[in-house]
Chains A and B, each alone.
Chain A
Amino acid sequence: AAGVIQSPRHLIKEKRETATLKCYPIPRHDTVYWYQQGPGQDPQFLISFYEKMQSDKGSIPDRFSAQQFSDYHSELNMSSLELGDSALYFCASSLRDRDGYTFGSGTRLTVV
């Protein structure tokens, strides 16, 4: 069965650089979510999209932005990277009002 695909798997950036993370949800899923998981931490909700429109916003810094495209893939853009942005970034998708979220394998971002 198709899963949530994220790319790249690993990314190393320097402080103040920009990073773009991509997410391809499960086909026919209409909702995409982005989460950030720091070392030893639980995932923290960043932002979600429903049918290509921003749905809800969590603890996403102003330096970050995201969008969902016509083919339903989503991108998380992160600018002016800080050391504290080093984390696992997960994308998840779901059918609205259905059974739970399916997470991708994540992108590990390291800021040096």
Chain B
Amino acid sequence: QKEVEQDPGPLSVPEGAIVSLNCTYSNSAFQYFMWYRQYSRKGPELLMYTYSSGNKEDGRFTAQVDKSSKYISLFIRDSQPSDSATYLCAMSATSGGGADGLTFGKGTHLIIQP
């Protein structure tokens, strides 16, 4: 079993809908949690960075971390067709990643229908 599980999708929703993306993990040492957006043939783009449990909001994006359940979420409000991309969760035990670097989920392919 992978350390980080993420549904690959595709997840298709209409424009304007609220999108919920999730990851579960098994390594209780993870303390740093990130969400990246990756367009085809491009590098991952950092969307959200959180430490430990709690919520963080940035514009239309909200990240939630529940360490007790080993579950993290990314919510996208007022979704736009330009949000169509692959969303990768990533996490690490140390801020620098340590010997394992970041551990990524497989990514969820999101499609926002105009």
Contacts and interface: CB of A to CB of B under 8 A. Distances in A.
Partners in one complex: yes
Given A42-B88, A42-B104, A42-B106, A106 B97 contact: no
A24 interface: no
Nearest to B32: A100
Nearest to A6: B43
B96 A90 contact: no
B41 A108 contact: yes
Nearest to B4: A42
Contact of A105 (B42, B95, B99, B102): B42
B1 to A, nearest CB: 15
B42 A57 contact: no
Give the one of B41, B88, B96 with max A CB within 10 A. B96
A100 to B, nearest CB: 4
B16 interface: no
A71 interface: no
Interface size class of A (residues with CB under 8 A): 20 to 34
B101 interface: yes
B42 A56 contact: no
Contacts of A48: 96-97, 101
B46 A31 contact: no
Given A103-B43, A106-B43, A96 B105 contact: no
Interface of A: 4, 31, 33, 35, 41-43, 45-46, 48, 50, 55-58, 88, 90, 92, 94, 96-106, 108
Interface of B: 34, 36, 41-46, 49, 88, 95-102, 104-107
